[in-house]
Amino acid sequence: MDKINLRRKEIIFLSLSIFVFLLAIFLPKIFQEHYSKNESASTIQALSTTTVPELVPSYIKTPEPLKGIYMTSWIASGKTEREKLVKLIDETEINSVVIDIKDYSGKIVFTVTNPELKAYGSEEVRIKDLPDFIQILHAKGIYVIGRVAVFQDAYFVKFRPDLAIKNKAGTAVWKDRKGISWIDAGSKEYWDYIILLAKESHKIGFDEINFDYVRFPSDGNMEDISFPFSTTTPKAIVLKGFFQYLHSHLENSGLKISADLFGMVTTSQNDMGIGQLLENALPYFDYIMPMVYPSHYGTNFQGFKNPEEHPYEVVKYAMETAVKRGRILASTTGQTVAQFRPWLQDFGLRMTYGPEEVKAQIKATNDVGLSSWILWSASNKYTKGALKTE
């Protein structure tokens, strides 16, 4: 019996030893797994309750002189393509870029957060990382301008056809020769929409807003046309009211504003049927940007059979006249007037434009006492050989 009892004790002792051994191996792992699960749960909970800090944009002071290029929203939406233009800026004298915010389609190309603006439903987020892209440009010292095509707006016409330019009978939306529809420039409700867009654009980092298509249409069936808000008011007065409205609503925002005007505005003494009169715009913007593309002047302008063949002479005459008119307005009225910053062409219509033609326009700008300019190319292909390298 003693031997049996001793054998039982040995078995019990051995079993306890094995149990303790196994416990020593597996217990830490059990605790570790339990701790890891709790830690993961805590981490997930912490992440779910952490708010992502709102982007606080930086801004760049307007460079003097400003030398810029234009970038479409489509190019800006693709990192590979836009980097080619950023590289051009890095390697040359260019220090500014104009990026589409709203083109002729009427679509806003970035994410809108303002509920009032968002309610219009005009977003088409082509540039998903636009606020971040602007900050990348700012880190390089690049001034960023947002371009808004104002009264040429296909989306808003469909959204609010009651604000659109109509046919003479008022029964259908009028379209220009390209098939594009327009908002009547006298619609103050639409003015408020543009103000909202400008403020929202500034909020994500744009240093300046450039207003394009600030005019009445110039082509199409002009005999079969009517304006629901501008029937009795002269077009030039309608646009002057719009310019005043922009100025009064944006002057304390810290945002610079500029306006694109037809090149002929600098030499014409009337509004050319589109409502643009130079003296009516000068007091209300920081910069006036006449589109003095030599290719856009008619045959025999200043005696030239083909003005596009004379880039220096055309730009010099156009901008020299503009500067004189600005000085006269300032001296006779005591008003502060906008600075001039012309759009120059880096493209050809009836001839090829290369380094010499682009340089000639820049020289003409400088020779009338101006130092700032921006190159336009719808294809976003620019003549590097025309630019000074950095």
Confidence check: pLDDT of 50 > 90? no
Confidence check: pLDDT of 2 > 50? no
What does CATH list as the number for 67-386?
A: 3.20.20.80
Q: Is residue 281 helix, strand or coil?
A: helix
Q: Is residue 253 helix, strand or coil?
A: coil
Note the pTM of the prediction, 2 decimals: 0.86
Confidence check: pLDDT of 61 > 90? yes
User: What residue type is assigned to position 94 of the chain?
Assistant: I
What are the residues whose beta carbons fall under 8 Å from the beta carbon of 121, sequence distance 6 or more?
Answer: 159
- Please report the pLDDT score of residue 390 as a whole number: 76
- Please report the pLDDT score of residue 174 as a whole number: 98
Question: Range with the lowest mean pLDDT among 37-51, 173-187, 222-236?
Answer: 37-51
- Please report the pLDDT score of residue 43 as a whole number: 39
Contact of 92 with 390, CB cutoff 8 Å: yes
Q: Please write the tens of the pLDDT for every residue from 263-319.
A: 999 999 999 999 999 999 999 999 999 999 999 999 999 999 999 999 999 999 999
Q: Please write the tens of the pLDDT for every residue from 130-170.
A: 999 999 999 999 999 999 999 999 999 999 999 999 999 99
Report the mean per-residue pLDDT for the chain. Answer: 90
**Mean pLDDT to the nearest integer, 23-45:** 43
Contact of 170 with 181, CB cutoff 8 Å: no
User: What residue type is assigned to position 374 of the chain?
Assistant: I
Q: Please write the tens of the pLDDT for every residue from 340-384.
A: 999 999 999 999 999 999 999 999 999 999 999 999 999 999 999
Burial 349-383 (b: 16+ CB within 10 A, else e): eeeebeeebbbbbbebbeebebebbbbbbeebebb
Using the structure block, give the residue that is written with the tokens 């002047």. 297
Contact of 212 with 195, CB cutoff 8 Å: no
Confidence check: pLDDT of 33 > 50? no
What are the residues whose beta carbons fall under 8 Å from the beta carbon of 45, sequence distance 6 or more?
Answer: none
- Please report the pLDDT score of residue 37 as a whole number: 38
**What backbone torsions phi and psi does residue 339 show, to the nearest 5 degrees?**
-80, 150
- Please report the pLDDT score of residue 44 as a whole number: 38
pLDDT: is 26 or 82 the higher one? Answer: 82
- Please report the pLDDT score of residue 264 as a whole number: 97
pLDDT: is 223 or 30 the higher one? Answer: 223
